Structure formats: structure tokens, C-alpha cells
Amino acid sequence: MPRVVAVFGPTASGKSAAALALAEAVGGELVSCDAMQLYRGLPVLTNQPSAEELARVPHHLVAVWPLDHEGSVAEYGELARAAIAGVLERGRVAVVCGGSGLYLRAALAPLRLPPAPAPGVRERYQQLYDQLGAEAAHRLLAGRDPAAAARIHANDRRRVVRALELGEAGGSLAGPHDPLWDAPAGDTVVYGLEVPPPIVRERIELRTRQMFEHGVEHEVAAALTGELSHTARRIHGLQDVSALLAGEIDRGEAIRRLDVRTRQYARRQRSWMRRLPGLVPITSAGDLLAREAA
């Protein structure tokens, strides 16, 4: 049994249940690598573990930040690695679980983060992209950072802008080799939960409707009475529920938008899985337990 086991997969794939079953079976402890579950106050919206699940095995890094906290992946990485070290010191198995790919990487090894751009640089390049057009902005990038331009399509506005702002700060999206893309160390294994997309879509639709049945509107309304940090405002679904509360859309449209955004997010998570070397595919909690028992 590796001392650190990570379970990654798209939202609604069943990774939390699989990780919980494994932690129970081996006497392990769970370390969350879900960027949004770090925040407290929105347990329904962020699909945090229930009180019963929290009582079954120790959980770390769930609901640890207030909504006005300006969190970062660097801060999370330090917390996660400290939590994993504590689990290992107790002679237990650390089961890292979540769907935030960058946070998974930060939990397993220190990130070499790119330099931070100066305030206003991103907005300036966003305006430039919109004014010049995709092809012209991409040519500008090609003149400044050919390696990054070769990796990015001209129509990918977000990454073209990101590459331009990184270049101004002395970094590059095509930077040096990142050791986190290496296969995990011998005492770590990363499992990827592979569930057919049609099943994930059905589960996402069900979960989205259940959120509204379980009072997501009330908890968002309460959260909006206080201060929210920039990172907290990016919590998945907050924008759609806020629009509903403001009377801009009805409940049916809020459900539809959140469902669509969640399916798009699941596709991005599957892309992350394809980029993780050494990933061991699994299809269910039973598959995970069988592999670990072998």
C-alpha cells in the first residue's frame, strides 16, 4: 500500500465515495484537493462532505477558509503538504481526493509558480485582444514568445492573454520542464476515475437539481450579505445562483446554466486526467479497493 494515494476525476464521477471507501478500508485520512471546498459557508454549492461522512474518517482542508479570505494555490499547497505529512507521521495512509487539477499537483509536490503580473496588465491585454482581433494578438504573442504561441490557438483568448501577461512579467506558458508532470514517487499512486461521459452528465443534472432542493439559494443569499474575496467569488455556480436571487433569471434558467457550466468543468477535468503521467485508471470504488488489496 503506498503511503499517499490520490483519487482524481471529473465532478459527479464518484471519486469522493471511492476515496472515502478506501480511507475506511485502510484506516486512512482524507486530504481534500478541491479548491472550492476550502471555503466554509457554502456546503451545498461546493458539495462538501456530509456530517456523517466527516464522522467516518478524518478529513483535512474542508471548510477551513472564511469567504472573505483571498486564497491561493501556493497557500493551499503548503497546507496540504503539511496535512499529508501529519497523516504519515501518525502511521496512516493519506488519501488525497478532489477535482482541482492544479491543487492536486500542489498537494503532491511544491509548485514552481510563474511570476505575478502587475495590476491591470491582464485587462490591458484583454482589451488589446478584443480590439486587434484573435490573429493579430496571436502574431504579437508569436513575436514575443514563439514557443508559447506554438502551443496556443489564436482563438483561445484566455490563454493568449495569459501568455502575453506572463511574457511581460518575465515568464512563459512554455516554461521549463515541470517535475510535477513526472510519474509520482514510489510511495505515491494517482488513480483516475474513468466514468462514461453520458453517466457523468446524468449525475450532474441530478446533483444540480438536488442543490436547489437542499437550499442552495438560502446559503448563497446568506453568503452575499458579507464580504467575498476574489477567489471565493469564483466558486462554481455562485454567479448563476446570484443572478437568480437578483431576479435576473428564473430558477429553471439558473438550473440550466449551472448544469451547462458543470458539464463544461467536467470536460476540463478529463483533460487534466489525460495530462497526468503514471495515472492508474479505475472505474469504481470497488475497482479501487480491489487494486489496493492486490
Same domain membership, residue 156 and residue 16: no
pTM over 0.85: no
Q: What percent of the chain has pLDDT over 90?
A: 69
- Give the pLDDT of residue 2: 67
What residues have CB less than 8 Å from 186, skipping those under 6 apart? Answer: 2
Which range has highest mean pLDDT (52-56, 99-103, 154-158, 268-272)? 52-56
Same domain membership, residue 221 and residue 144: no
Same domain membership, residue 101 and residue 9: yes
Same domain membership, residue 147 and residue 13: no
**Integer Cα distance of 5 and 7 in angstroms:** 7
> Distances from the Cα of 96 to the Cαs of 93, 191, 252, in angstroms?
10, 10, 35
Q: Span 3-26, mean pLDDT?
A: 94
Answer whether residue 17 is part of any domain.
Answer: yes
pLDDT in tens, 222-251: 999 999 998 999 999 999 999 999 999 999
The domain that contains 55 carries what CATH number? 3.40.50.300
Q: What is the DSSP letter of 113?
A: P
pLDDT for residue 186 is more than 70: no
pLDDT for residue 117 is more than 80: no
- Give the pLDDT of residue 222: 97
Instruction: HSE, CB side, 13 Å, CA atoms: give it for residue 45.
Output: 29
The answer to whether 108 and 5 are in contact (CB under 8 A) is no
Answer whether residue 175 is part of any domain.
Answer: no
Answer whether residue 223 is part of any domain.
Answer: yes
Answer whether residue 182 is part of any domain.
Answer: no
Same domain membership, residue 198 and residue 98: yes
pLDDT in tens, 275-284: 787 889 999 8
CA-nearest of 169, 70, 37 to 114 is 169
Q: What residues make up the domain containing 101?
A: 4-113+188-293
pLDDT band at 181 (very low <50, low <70, confident <90, very high): low
- Give the pLDDT of residue 178: 56
- Mean pLDDT (the chain) is 90
CA-nearest of 64, 5, 10, 63 to 29 is 5
- Give the pLDDT of residue 176: 58
Which of 78-82, 110-114, 137-141 shows the lowest mean pLDDT across its residues?
Answer: 110-114
Answer whether residue 231 is part of any domain.
Answer: yes
Taking the CA atoms of 183, 73, 62 and 14 in sequence, report the sign of the dihedral they define: negative
pLDDT band at 204 (very low <50, low <70, confident <90, very high): very high
Same domain membership, residue 218 and residue 104: yes
pLDDT for residue 200 is more than 60: yes
Same domain membership, residue 289 and residue 161: no
Same domain membership, residue 130 and residue 103: no
The domain that contains 138 carries what CATH number? 1.10.20.140
Same domain membership, residue 143 and residue 49: no
Answer whether residue 245 is part of any domain.
Answer: yes
Answer whether residue 232 is part of any domain.
Answer: yes
Question: 10 Å Cβ neighbour count for 105?
Answer: 22
Answer whether residue 12 is part of any domain.
Answer: yes
pLDDT for residue 1 is more than 80: no
The answer to whether 225 and 55 are in contact (CB under 8 A) is no
Radius of gyration of the chain (CA): 20
The answer to whether 210 and 262 are in contact (CB under 8 A) is no
Same domain membership, residue 94 and residue 8: yes
pLDDT for residue 177 is more than 60: no
pLDDT in tens, 67-99: 999 998 889 999 999 999 999 999 999 999 999
- Give the pLDDT of residue 166: 86
Same domain membership, residue 109 and residue 25: yes
